[in-house]
Amino acid sequence: MSPPPCRIRTRRFHRAFALWSHVALGCAALLPAPLAQAGVPEYVPQLQARVSGFDGFNLPTGSSFSSGTPDIDDLGAVAFRLIGVGSTGIGGMWVGANGTGSVVYQAANDQPVVTDPGIAAGIVVFDQYTLAGSQGLRRYTVLTGQTSVAIQPGGALGVTYFGSAQVLDDGRIGFRATIGSSSYAHVLHAAGVSTVIVGTPVVQAGSPYSFLFTPSFNQAGHVASKVQRAAGGNEIRIFRSDGTSTLIAADSAASPGSPFTGFDNSVALTNAGGVAFIASLGGGVRGVFLSTGTGTTEIARTQAGQLNEIEFFAPTASDTGLVAFRGRDGAGKRSIFVGDGTELVRVVGDGSPMPSDLGDAQIGRPDTSPVFGGNPRMNSRGDIVFGCSITPLGNTSGTWGSAVYVLRAQEAARPADINGDGNVDGIDLTALLAAWGSCPSTGSCPADLDESGAVDGLDLTALLADWG
């Protein structure tokens, strides 16, 4: 499997960055429209919450969330777990959107730990547990502001822990059930009934799988997962509640001749039926892929000087064919990349400028510790949420603590739309022809599409190629 013709590059943030730096932190939420474009979009960063030992934005001073993975739903709402709310050392849950939000739940003193959440359509789900086991899978409802126990531990399945909980838009809850100490099942819960979609043999008699890894559910209630076969080797499959499944990929131990020597433990399933996964290819090479089982797109692979490392964190994917993952760029800086199989963009990373409530900041730390915490997560339209450490811009010896950001996916600019009406048509052609020749020494020259300093045949060709 040869590398794709992929451009790996760093993209500056959308030109609206400066505006977001100063006014976006308190603006009202707007429902995002689906992206119509192909390719990797432009992104606008927006701060959701920040905290240090001295102050905080949308969080009590002293709170901690540095190792958690936040989640984002299709309307742009965000949820993330707190290791400690303020200085209590007791876990909790934060929910918000568009730069506003707050702690909505704090665990009891004897039940201090909450898991990373799943969020969709105004509902947040998460497990709360002690060393003795789960204290119940919780459901927080934004509309009422109330938290209740959605599923009790034990039950007919004997669940001891609820792992990787997700909620679907219709309220169904998917999770990986730990049963006893060494049995597992991927479960879909609806109307008070938990249905096993796939399980290990103690749970599902005759199952060929000895271990189930982290699940990913889509809105159809299907679940994708890496599974360990009792006969040897590992597969990635999509499972359905009717008992059928689709093989996405198998490693060389399960299928001799496979280009994959191993898989990372977490995958991402889209509503379109694509599964994003990270695989080892032998010889120290690793790759990121998006597959439906009948066709596989290579998103990226490690190559010295460009993508030095793909980190062992879960990938995430959109319904538009975008895949995001953590890695190191050619300079060795930790970064988040987004690709679609034709281009690969470093959208943010160590040293990237970011807006903050304290002023212009950058992703970074005053030491060599990782600048990101947990996995990035992407919603169906391509917005990305992630946690990171930030410092004052240009001052990596200082620290402004930990922050959660959303990168809002934007429609790509169309330079050929000279009059900005959303179409490339005769009006734009007339404007280009009227500006034919050298650009003025001062002022703008919007018809110079390739910014060569002159409006010429190359600009005309670019306009006609983008007609419509």
pLDDT tens string 358-415:
999 999 999 999 999 999 999 999 999 999 999 999 998 999 999 999 999 987 667 8
Structure tokens at 135: 């204290």
83 and 64 in contact (C-beta within 8 Å)?
Answer: yes
Q: How far apart are CA 127 and CA 139, in angstroms?
A: 9
CA distances (Å), 68 to each of 2, 45, 244, 372, 404, in order?
A: 35, 19, 33, 10, 10
Q: How far apart are CA 81 and CA 117, in angstroms?
A: 7
pLDDT at 71: 98
pLDDT at 428: 94
Q: Which residue has the tokens 């879909």?
A: 188
pLDDT at 451: 86
pLDDT at 4: 41
Within 8 A by CB and 6+ apart from 189, the residues are 150, 151, 172, 173, 174, 175, 195
pLDDT, averaged per 10 consecutive residues of the chain (468 residues), comes to 46 39 32 62 95 95 92 97 93 96 92 92 95 93 96 94 97 96 96 96 96 98 98 98 97 97 98 97 96 96 93 97 97 97 96 97 94 96 97 93 96 81 90 95 89 93 91
Within 8 A by CB and 6+ apart from 284, the residues are 302
pLDDT at 8: 54
pLDDT at 35: 61
pLDDT at 11: 52
pLDDT at 109: 83
